[in-house]
Amino acid sequence: MKAAFPYIGYHTFALKDFLTALGAEVCLPPPLTKRTLELGAKYSPEMVCLPFKITLGNFIEALEKGADTLFMAAGARKCRFGYYHYLQERILKELGYQFRFYPVSQYSPYEFIFEKMPQIFAVSPTQVLKALYLMIKKSELCENFKNCLRVIRAIDYQRSLEFEKEYLKKIENAKRIKEINILNKELKRIRKNWLKENRIKLKVGLVGEIYFLLEDFANQELEKELGKLGVLVLSKRSLYSRLKHLLKIEKEFLKIYYYAKKYLAVSPGGEAIHTIGETIDFIKKGVDGIIHIFPFTCMPENIVLHSLEKISEDYNIPILSLSFDEHTSKTGILTRVEAFLELLKRRKRNGNSIYWN
């Protein structure tokens, strides 16, 4: 079995390890490029959101490379995301590829552990649980790595490039829980040391749709560019927190839900509750501004836009909303982000007023 799945940023390693631990040979598609996006956009319906197009392009490239088993997250609820796989499977079959397609429902963890995975890989549930534990640990490591990278980027961009190269290799090769724990401790220590220097000028909270927060290709490498400009990015969404949320062991969710309840009449599904709750959480922790990113025509995030407007008024904090589609240019986004950062700097200088004193 040559298994493939769509990229999701650094957390790809965690998913890869999960499948490897279950005994599958993982055939990662080539890194996301413009070709991926073009391929995806060519065969998808025109009105669908960007993650559909990128993941479809990913699948096509993986199949070209020789993968024969595809995995895709599923679980039909309010958001469009749960329905992706029906159409993707059909489109890929029409293109003439031979493959097996396994949609993995997000919302039934017990079925996933005790029925679905043992059936596909012919292993026992204990093995699945072991692999799942490894995946959770690894995704925690990936999250720590990303947090660490964010701090270094904001202080010294050149050093962060070397750091990224060095540690990506280490993370990829860490296959045992012991190694992962050691790396985890090391990364936490490095982050603390860098934070001691206290040279951070601006803090910006990044909220929005999960795929866009995790995959750097989708958000036009926004985090990298922010780091280049000397901004510390704070973000809570990761595969680790998502997995914890799905297994219902996410501690922070209660707090986030409490914050979000004031600003939402009904949850419109997707990441709406997390977006609003995290925004307020970041504001209470003292960030200078919030950047909200989502795919063009995303249904839940567009409802959230109205709530964010109100939050911005209530807490007197600037919020920039950016929507991305396949035609979005990096320059256009950068110009808007730079103008936004200029505003934040001026506010900081003048004591939370955007006007000249």
Partner 1 sequence: MRGKIGIIRALLYYRYGFLFVNFFKHLGIEYLLSPKTNRELIDLGVKNSSSEVCLPLKVACGHLLYLKDKVDYLFVPKIIYPYGRLYTCPKMMGLPTIALYLCGKEKVISPTIKGNFFLPLFFLGLKFRKNPLKIVSAYLKARRKEEKKELVFDNKNLKIAIISHFYNIYDEEIGSFLIETFKKEGFSVYLKDDLDEKILKRKEGFAKNIRWAFERELYNAFKYYLDKVDGICFFFSFACGPDSLIGEMMAKEAKEKGIPFLTIIFDEHSGKEGIITRIEAFCEMIKRKKR
**Residue 328 binding partner 1, by CB under 8 A:** no
316 neighbors 283 (Cβ within 8 angstroms) = no
Q: What is the dihedral of CA 342, 345, 351, 355, to 10 degrees?
A: -20
**Residue 87 binding partner 1, by CB under 8 A:** yes
Q: Residue for token digits 């505003």?
A: 343
Question: 188: which residues sit within 8 A by CB, 6+ positions away?
Answer: 144, 148
**Residue 137 binding partner 1, by CB under 8 A:** no
End-to-end Cα spacing for the chain? 66
Q: How far is the CB of 246 from partner 1 (least distance, A)?
A: 18
- Range in contact with partner 1 (rule: CB under 8 A) among 2-10, 174-182, 211-219, 261-269: 261-269
Mask 63-82, x = binds partner 1 (CB under 8 A)?
Answer: -------------xxxxx-x
**Residue 303 binding partner 1, by CB under 8 A:** yes
Long-range contacts, stretch 84-92, CB < 8 angstroms, 24+ apart? 84/51, 84/52, 84/55, 87/44, 87/45, 87/52, 88/52, 88/55, 88/56, 88/59, 91/43, 91/44, 91/56, 92/56, 92/59, 92/60, 92/63
**Residue 188 binding partner 1, by CB under 8 A:** no
By C-beta, is 9 or 270 nearer to partner 1? Answer: 270
By C-beta, is 40 or 270 nearer to partner 1? Answer: 270
171 neighbors 145 (Cβ within 8 angstroms) = yes
Q: 3-state class of 352 per DSSP?
A: coil
Candidate list 47, 96, 98, 352; residue touching partner 1; CB under 8 A: 47
Q: How far is the CB of 122 from partner 1 (least distance, A)?
A: 27
Question: Cα separations (Å) of 312 from 139, 144, 151?
Answer: 32, 29, 26
By C-beta, is 82 or 208 nearer to partner 1? Answer: 82
Please state, as a whole number, how many other Cβ atoms lie within 10 Å of the Cβ of residue 157: 14
**Residue 127 binding partner 1, by CB under 8 A:** no
**Residue 267 binding partner 1, by CB under 8 A:** yes
Q: Which of residues 201-240 bind partner 1 (CB under 8 A)?
A: none
- Range in contact with partner 1 (rule: CB under 8 A) among 39-47, 145-153, 206-214, 236-244: 39-47
Q: Which parts of this chain interact with partner 1 (CB under 8 A)?
A: 44-49, 76-80, 82-84, 86-87, 90, 94, 263-270, 296-300, 302-303, 305-307, 309-310, 323
